[in-house]
Amino acid sequence: MTVEINKSIPDFEADSTGNTPFKLSDFIEKKVLIYFYPRDNTPGCTQEGKDFRDNIEQFSAFNTIIFGVSRDSVKVHEGFKAKQEFPFELLSDKEEKLCELFDVIKMKNMYGKQVRGIERSTFLINEEGVLIYEWRKVKVKVHIEEVLQKLQELS
């Protein structure tokens, strides 16, 4: 089963930074922005997280809470989050359950080899738990503007 636009997202739980397990249903009455990225401490993933961090007040103004997801462990996430001063939690998806639900694992070319990896993707879930927008094959340079523009249109 994978998520679809204009359909409810099944409630799910994930290991999270901040010693608090994440549960989607805990965030009803807020928009939830979940962004999937390949790996902590890599240039593109660091920049993407910084862009969300640097615009956190705008997200708050749009009643939107942010979560980053990768297959890294919570321990690695804690270090990455602290180093970059991210004001949002990072979810660990070592078992790829969320990656599967959101269909973000793709075959990618890396140094001439085919590898399974996370395709950079972002999902916007409304206050009722319905997926209302998705960005796939995200380009970090323009992504923050695209997301903020969509939130502006929705408000």
Average pLDDT, the chain: 96
Average pLDDT over residues 33-56: 97
For domain 30-154, the CATH architecture is 3-Layer(aba) Sandwich (3.40)
pLDDT confidence bin for 71, thresholds 50/70/90:
very high
Does position 109 have pLDDT exceeding 90, yes or no?
Answer: no
Per-residue pLDDT at 110 exceeds 90 = no
* Residue 15 scores a pLDDT above 90: yes
CA gap 151, 63 in Å, rounded: 10
* Dihedral angle, C-alpha 137, 90, 82, 39, nearest 10 °: -40
Confidence grade of residue 1 (pLDDT, cut at 50, 70, 90): confident
Reported as a single tens digit per residue, the pLDDT across 87-101 is 999 999 999 999 999
pLDDT at 4 over 90: yes
pTM: 0.96
Check pLDDT > 90 for residue 132.
yes
Q: Which residues are catalytic?
A: 45
Average pLDDT over residues 37-61: 97
Provide the pLDDT confidence category of residue 108 given band limits of 50, 70 and 90: confident
